[in-house]
Structure 1
Amino acid sequence: MSIITDWTEQDRKDYGKVIQAKTHRLADSGLFTDEALAALLDRHPTDKIDVCTMTDDPLFPAKHCTVDFRGFSGAELIEAAKAGRVWINVREAMSYDAAYIPLMEDTYADLERCTGRDRLRRNCRGGILISSPTAKVPYHCDPTMTLLWHIRGKKRVFVYPPTEEFLPDTAYEAVVLGEKDQDIPYSPAFEDAAMVYDLPENTLVAWPHTSPHRVENQSFCISMVMEFTSKTSAYRNSVMYTNGLLRRHFGMNPSWHRSGPIERGIKSVTGHVLRKLGAHKVHVREDYVHYALDKAAPNFLRPINKTLRNF
């Protein structure tokens, strides 16, 4: 089945170089209705489900914090998303659940057909996002190749240039080294450079690797996020891994943007080897729960004493 419906030869040439918004047919599968998603939530492992709400940190606006959703059925979680202020990530649903795996395979095969690239995929994952009308995703960048397949509702996406002004090398090194989450420092001044897309239903958005972006819902939304490792992402991440170690252990000031192809090639091989050897200890982020879902509470959110997530 053809999933992407309006791909052109020019799109094939532009893929990975510019921001693209195209039409898709994932909704035709019937797997993204409220009923289908409620059933998925009921059977998906709870440790692969994140329910979050948004904070007001000035450096990381709309940063996500974890919500305890235990005791809620899938249908009740969707009710909370429609009426509350929550963002639900059903992690790896497309690549884990038997009902969704065939659609994920068809979708990736169609992406390969359209782009003529990314055939040597690695670590391909697909998560399903179920989010409230007021939900936001903070300013961040993804170390993987990431595509947003919007399916239901109205969503606004802001994409920023992948330059050092908007993504400092030090910030991206911290992401690649596992020291920080994908959220990166934000300034309102960045908005002058943002490309803004109001997404209708059934729209695929792709952007160049490492482009910072953020999302604001305009209604209750259902989307799928596809993540995978490509030659492009693996190459850059290995270079940045090496640069991060040179900065931290030798006091050097390396730069992705100022380096040439020979230097990058050497650093890419070095970074690949060093990562395999575990040259840098990955920081394991502690996930604290700040709220519990509660039908009687405003926005379904009841504040609780901060506790470490254990579910």
Structure 2
Amino acid sequence: MTILTRWSDEERAQYGAEIQTFPHRLGASGLFTDDALAALLDRHPKHLIDVCTMTDDPDFPDRHCTVDPAGATGAEMVEIAKSGAIWINIREAMNTDPAYRPLMDAAYAELKANTGQTARKRNRRGGILISSPAAKVPYHCDPTQTLLWHVRGRKRVFVYPTTEAFLPDEAYEAIVLGERDQDVPYRSSYDASAQIFDLPDDTLVCWPHTSPHRVVNQGFCVSMVMECTTHDSAVRNGAMYFNGLLRRHFKAQPQWSGSGSFERLLKAYAGHALRKLGAHRAHIREDYVRFRLDPGQPSMLSPVPAYIRNF
């Protein structure tokens, strides 16, 4: 099955440098229906299923908070997502599940054929998102090259510039060091500079690496997120990792925008070496569970005493 149904020479030249949308045919696979997703949730490794709700942190509005789904079947989770305020990420389903892996392989093959760009095979991942009408994805930045393959539902996506004003170096360093889970401080005034997309069914949206973005659902939604590492993203992440350690341990004030390509490459090599040595471990945040799924509550959630995620 051909997945991408349109790609022009102009779009090929702009890929990775501009925000773009394309029609696709993932929905025709039959793998994103309620029944198919319920079966996937039942068989997928539980430690690779994230269930979250949103909080009201003033600096990180709608930040995700982990929910314990223990005891819920796949069908129940899909139904709760339709009426509650939760967001489910079936992590790595596209690259590990035998039913879904051929779709992801085909998508990468078509991207390579259409763009000439190659993603590092060992770093390819694809997760499936099932999210409530009230769900929101907070203002954040992905350290990987990320493509959002929306399949069904009504979803509005805000994509912001990659400049220091919208993504401070220190905030991105916090992401690659593990201090934050991709969240970046947000102000409503940023929206004046955003490009906004109301995605119809079966639409791919992609943007330049490190573009901050946020998502507001307008109905029950099912999407696939594809993440990969490219040469450019690996260089940036390694250099920013190194810069983050310099800032935190030596009070330095390194800058990404003011550095040259040779400096960035040297820092990238150093950063990747230090990561392998575990230099970032002191900075990794803990993931606390604060709710459990509870179909008996109007919100479908019950609070629990906070504990570090162990599932």
Cα deviation, 1:252-279, whole Å, max 9, x if unaligned, reads: 2110111122322322232233333333
1:118 corresponding residue in structure 2: 118
- Contact conserved, 1:177 with 1:282, CA < 8 A, in 2? no
Distance (Å, rounded) in 2 between the aligned partners of 1:119 and 1:112: 8
Aligned pairs for 1:184-199 within 5 A: 184-199=184-199
TM-score, normalising length: structure 1: 0.96
2:253 corresponding residue in structure 1: 253
What fraction of aligned residue pairs are identical, expressed as a percent? 63
1:219 corresponding residue in structure 2: 219
Aligned pairs for 1:1-311 within 5 A: 1-281=1-281, 283-311=283-311
Cα deviation, 1:22-53, whole Å, max 9, x if unaligned, reads: 11111111100011001001111111111111
Structure 2 segments unaligned to the other structure (5+ residues): none
Cα deviation, 1:222-266, whole Å, max 9, x if unaligned, reads: 000001111110011111122112222322211011112232232
Q: How far does residue 119 in structure 1 lie from its aligned partner after superposition?
A: 4.5
Q: How far does residue 72 in structure 1 lie from its aligned partner after superposition?
A: 1.1
Cα deviation, 1:99-156, whole Å, max 9, x if unaligned, reads: 1111111111111111110244431100000000010000000111110000010100
One-letter amino acid of the counterpart of residue 236, structure 1: R
- Contact conserved, 1:178 with 1:282, CA < 8 A, in 2? no
Distance 1:18 1:86, change over 3 A: same
- Contact conserved, 1:124 with 1:229, CA < 8 A, in 2? yes
Cα deviation, 1:3-29, whole Å, max 9, x if unaligned, reads: 111111111100110000111111111
Distance (Å, rounded) in 1 between the aligned partners of 2:163 and 2:96: 35
Q: How far does residue 304 in structure 1 lie from its aligned partner after superposition?
A: 2.4
Secondary structure in 2 matching 1:299: coil
Structure 1 segments unaligned to the other structure (5+ residues): none
One-letter amino acid of the counterpart of residue 34, structure 1: D
One-letter amino acid of the counterpart of residue 301, structure 2: L
Secondary structure in 2 matching 1:109: helix
Q: How far does residue 282 in structure 1 lie from its aligned partner after superposition?
A: 5.2
Distance (Å, rounded) in 1 between the aligned partners of 2:107 and 2:245: 37
- Contact conserved, 2:119 with 2:228, CA < 8 A, in 1? no
Distance 1:281 1:293, change over 3 A: closer
Distance (Å, rounded) in 2 between the aligned partners of 1:277 and 1:289: 29
Distance 1:247 1:285, change over 3 A: closer
